[in-house]
Amino acid sequence: MSAGEEAAKRRRVRDGWLLSAPALLLLTLAAAGPLLVVLVYSFLTPGQYGGVVWEFSTDAWVGILFTRDIFTETMQLADAHLAIFWRSVRLSLLTTLITFAVGFPTAWFIATRPPKARALWLFLITIPFWTNLLIRTFAINEVIRNEGILNSVLMAAGIIATPIQILYTDTAVLIGMAYVYLPLMVLPLFAAIDRFDMRLLEAGYDLYANRWQVLRRIVLPIVKPGIVAGSILVFVPSLGAYVTPRVLGGGKQMMIGNFIELQFGQGRNWPLGASLSMLLLLIVLAALLVYVRAAGKGGAHGQ
């Protein structure tokens, strides 16, 4: 390459960076700026009536796992905080498992339909996205409450004598999140299954594999990127869910998102809320790293 061509290439690269600089600056300020503010707040002292006092302190990070006794000043495990963390992770994992158990057969059914019918089924799957999350949550509320559709049908059929208390429990939150995030599992699974070569199934059966062996050794390894992508798309928003636990949990079945809101509101402990927000961000980043690693392995095996 001649010197003139190298100079022209450098000029094109420089012009490209200059043209994209305003957008990059805007993205940096809009994305990294608020996160930086939250990070700084997590190392400050809470104000008496909310806000922060500009004094460096690590009490907020310590307060995630420990609390200080107001009488003896001794440190002890924050049992309530740990219970909220465990409930959030447990419900998020269960939501992911339930949506996969329901979403995989659904995606397989859609992917094996004729093209025209497939488009119709995909259209039906995307309909919930047209409705606000709060409205969908209230719809589930009307189904599972004591005087709701489910209990009314069961009582009319004589199956139960008194309403089943589902609302304001972990079960209600789990049902609501599974319903809300199910499309996020179905669509990535459909995209993966749609690229699946069905001739591999015939090859497996020709080699005397049963259905379970075909599923475990042929189907699941090939559609693994879709499984991982759907799991991340469900797990991440479930972990930080606020509306569904607030409506269906009634404020008693609190998750991390509700706990963070409480610290910035009634708790008036902004540094603790900021440290919890950063902890949630770190958990999400860890989940995304797992996804990238799994997707990379899946792509390498696919080659």
Per-residue pLDDT tens digits for 5-16: 787 888 888 888
Confidence of residue 289 (pLDDT cuts 50, 70, 90): confident
> Is 101 found in the same domain as 36?
no
Cα–Cα nearest to 179, from 250, 118, 248, 246: 248
Q: Is the pLDDT of residue 19 over 90?
A: no
CB 41 within 8 A of CB 271: yes
Confidence of residue 150 (pLDDT cuts 50, 70, 90): very high
Confidence of residue 20 (pLDDT cuts 50, 70, 90): confident
Q: How far apart are CA 232 and CA 184, in angstroms?
A: 9
> Is 137 found in the same domain as 37?
no
CB 45 within 8 A of CB 60: no
Q: Does residue 70 fall inside a structural domain?
A: no
Confidence of residue 296 (pLDDT cuts 50, 70, 90): low
Q: Does residue 72 fall inside a structural domain?
A: no
> Is 142 found in the same domain as 16?
no
> Is 160 found in the same domain as 27?
no
Amino acid letter, 66: F
> Is 230 found in the same domain as 130?
yes
> Is 249 found in the same domain as 200?
yes
pLDDT of residue 303: 46
Range of the domain at 118: 79-302
Q: Does residue 54 fall inside a structural domain?
A: no
pLDDT of residue 91: 95
Helices (H), the chain: 3-27, 33-41, 59-62, 79-111, 115-126, 133-144, 149-156, 170-194, 199-206, 211-214, 220-222, 224-239, 243-248, 256-264, 270-302
> Is 96 found in the same domain as 193?
yes
Query: In this predicted model, what pLDDT tens digit does every residue of 171-223 receive, in sequence order?
Result: 999 999 999 999 999 999 999 999 888 888 888 888 888 889 988 888 988 89
Mean pLDDT of 243-257: 88
Mean pLDDT of 107-133: 89
Q: Does residue 52 fall inside a structural domain?
A: no
Query: In this predicted model, what pLDDT tens digit does every residue of 60-77 receive, in sequence order?
Result: 999 998 887 777 778 888
Q: Does residue 53 fall inside a structural domain?
A: no
> Is 229 found in the same domain as 100?
yes
CB 200 within 8 A of CB 218: yes
Q: Does residue 69 fall inside a structural domain?
A: no
Instruction: Specify the higher pLDDT residue, 207 or 102.
Output: 102
> Is 223 found in the same domain as 155?
yes
> Is 243 found in the same domain as 164?
yes
CATH number at residue 209: 1.10.3720.10
> Is 175 found in the same domain as 37?
no
> Is 124 found in the same domain as 35?
no
Q: Does residue 64 fall inside a structural domain?
A: no
**How much is the mean pLDDT over the chain?**
88
Q: Does residue 51 fall inside a structural domain?
A: no
Q: DSSP 3-state assignment of 52? A: strand
Number of domains in the chain: 2
Instruction: Specify the higher pLDDT residue, 287 or 223.
Output: 223
